[in-house]
Amino acid sequence: MNWHLAWRAGVVAMALALAACSDDGDSNENPDGGGTTDEKNRPGMGLSEEEPEGLPFTLPEGLTLEEPIKGYNPSNPEDCDDKYPDEAKGQGEQVRLCFIFNNNTNAPITLQLPPGLIFVSRSLLVQNGMIAQRISIEVPPKTRYFQPIYSYCTNSGRESASLYDEFELGKVTQYQDFQELFRLLENKTVTRENFVVVNQAIGDLADGEGLSAERRAAINALP
């Protein structure tokens, strides 16, 4: 794929991602049998302004994370140690962040970020982010290590993260329908070209719409 086609694919993916995270005003009824819930029942998701729920996540001993976590600019990553998108982890377009880890030990530390981990915006105008597949990061010893991470949006009607927005490391969601989605995504290859399928599914679950048969089929069709 030449850079013209890659650029077009990125623009299309971004447009679809923005649509997936917007509130279309439809009811919460799901004709495909995914279940019906009130989107405000899930703290930190959909239209909720509460803190997201889940299990606490703890960093390995000897590893610290600088907070607040700031937004990431893929076209000019000067503030992220010049780490370009080919070094980023995860997928998603609306919550792209630069993590700064400090390994205070004399040995490398392998960090495993579990699916369902939420990155919580300090502003109620900006999306919270969530990863849907496990991310593995090796942090060298005695190093201040920069790592760009892309994540999916979870809030209808909120803005995308900018370079100056601030986030904190949140909890790991335990809702059963999200756990089903994460199981479906195990061993799947999600890329910049097809991540919208996952983005739409997470948007549906965050809004309490359930995982429809259509979404399951699209996820099962991923390579």
Per-residue pLDDT tens digits for 122-153: 999 999 999 999 999 999 999 999 999 999 99
Q: For Cα atoms 195, 112, 79, give the angle at the middle one, nearest 5 degrees.
A: 70
Q: Do residues 190 and 222 make contact, with C-beta atoms less than 8 angstroms apart?
A: yes
Instruction: Yes or no: say if 187 and 223 are a contact pair by the CB < 8 Å rule.
Output: no
CB 145, CB 101: distance < 8 Å: yes
- Type and span of the H or E element at 113: strand 109-113
Q: Are 73 and 104 in contact (CB under 8 A)?
A: no
Q: Which pLDDT score is estimated for 2?
A: 41
Report the DSSP pairing between strands 89-90 and 143-153: parallel
Give, as one character, the DSSP assignment of residue 203. Answer: H
Amino acid type, 147: Q
CA-to-CA dists, residue 186 to 152, 176, 179, 195, angstroms: 17, 16, 11, 14
Give SS3 for 202: helix
- The 8-class DSSP code of residue 55 comes to B
Q: Are 171 and 52 in contact (CB under 8 A)?
A: yes
| Single-letter residue type at 172 | V
Question: Could you give the CA distance from residue 44 to residue 128 in angstroms, rounded to a whole number?
Answer: 8
As a whole number of angstroms, the distance between CA 191 and CA 75 comes to: 18
Which pTM does this prediction carry?
0.84
Q: Tell me the residue type at 202.
A: I
Cβ–Cβ contacts within 10 Å for residue 28, how many? 16
Residue 95: per-residue pLDDT = 98
User: What is the DSSP code (8-state) at residue 122?
Assistant: S
- Phi, psi angles (nearest 5°) of residue 43: -55, 135
Using 50 as the pLDDT threshold, list the residues of the chain that sit under it: 1-15, 17, 23-39
Instruction: Specify the pLDDT at position 156.
Output: 87
Could you tell me the CA-to-CA distances from 168 to 20, 26, 30, 210 in Å, in that order? 23, 31, 33, 27
